[in-house]
C-alpha cells in the first residue's frame, strides 16, 4: 500500500486531531503529514508541532484560492483530508480536487441535525430540545452540500431524559475518541463494511 498522507483540518482545541496523530504515529502506511487550522490560536497547532507534524493556518482567502488544493498535493504530498471540527465551508474546487478523498466528522446522527448552523454545542442543544433517546457521530464524504455527503459510518449511544446538553456532548465525544481514528483507517483501506450507502 502506498503511503497515505493525511491532512487534518481543525478550528479549535483539536482533541480529535491529537487522537488521530497518536493513532497513526510511527506508521509507514498512513501518516498525519499536515494539520491545517482556520485559526492561528487553535491549540491543535501547538500539539501538532510538538509531535513533529507540519502546520498551516488557512484563512478564508487561502481556502478559496483555486491553487490551494494543488499546493496541498504538490508541496505537502497530501492525498487524503480529514475534517475534524473544521468550521469553514469547504469550497467546491477543493471538494472536486479531493473527491472521495475527504471525510468529515459530524457530532450527530445525520441526516438529523446537519446543515448550516449545526455544529458543536448547537447540535447537542437541539438533540436535547427534541428529547432524542439516542445520539451519535457520523463520518461522511464531503460534498458541495454542508453535511450532505454520503454517510460512511455511524456510531450511537443511548440518552436518558436526565442528560443535559453537556452530558450529550460528553457521550458523543467519547464515541469520537473511540471510533474516529479506526474509521479513518478502515475507510482508507477500503474495508467492505464501510461501503457507502
Q: Does residue 121 carry a catalytic annotation? A: no
Residue 155's CB is within 10 A of a number of other CB atoms, namely: 18
Q: Phi, psi at residue 121, to the nearest 5°?
A: -70, -20
> Which member of 23, 47, 99, 106 is catalytic?
106
Whole-number Å distance between alpha carbons of 148 and 32: 25
HSE (CB half, 13 Å, CA atoms) of 63? 18
Per-residue burial over 22-40, b = 16 or more CB atoms within 10 Å of its CB, e = otherwise? eebeeeeebbbbbbbbbbe
3 state DSSP class of 31: strand
User: Which of these, 121, 119, 145, 124, lies nearest to 136 by C-alpha position?
Assistant: 124
So which residues are the catalytic ones? 106
Amino acid at each position: 500500500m502506498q503511503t497515505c498522507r493525511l491532512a487534518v483540518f481543525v478550528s479549535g482545541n483539536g482533541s480529535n486531531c491529537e487522537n488521530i496523530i497518536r493513532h497513526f504515529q510511527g506508521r509507514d502506511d498512513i501518516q498525519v503529514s499536515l494539520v491545517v487550522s482556520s485559526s492561528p490560536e487553535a491549540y491543535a497547532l501547538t500539539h501538532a508541532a510538538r509531535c513533529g507534524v507540519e502546520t498551516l493556518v488557512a484563512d478564508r482567502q487561502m481556502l478559496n484560492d483555486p491553487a490551494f488544493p494543488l499546493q496541498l498535493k504538490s508541496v505537502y504530498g497530501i492525498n487524503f483530508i480529514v475534517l475534524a471540527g473544521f468550521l469553514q465551508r469547504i469550497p467546491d474546487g477543493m471538494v472536486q480536487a479531493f473527491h472521495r478523498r475527504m471525510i468529515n466528522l459530524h457530532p450527530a446522527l445525520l441526516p438529523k441535525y446537519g446543515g448550516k448552523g449545526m455544529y458543536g454545542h448547537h447540535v447537542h442543544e437541539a438533540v436535547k430540545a427534541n428529547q432524542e433517546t439516542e445520539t451519535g457521530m457520523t463520518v461522511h464524504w464531503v460534498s458541495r452540500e454542508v453535511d450532505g455527503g454520503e454517510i460512511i459510518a455511524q456510531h450511537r449511544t443511548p440518552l436518558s431524559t436526565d442528560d443535559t446538553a453537556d452530558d450529550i456532548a460528553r457521550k458523543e465525544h467519547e464515541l469520537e475518541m473511540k471510533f474516529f481514528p479506526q474509521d479513518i483507517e478502515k475507510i482508507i483501506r477500503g474495508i467492505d463494511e464501510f461501503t457507502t450507502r
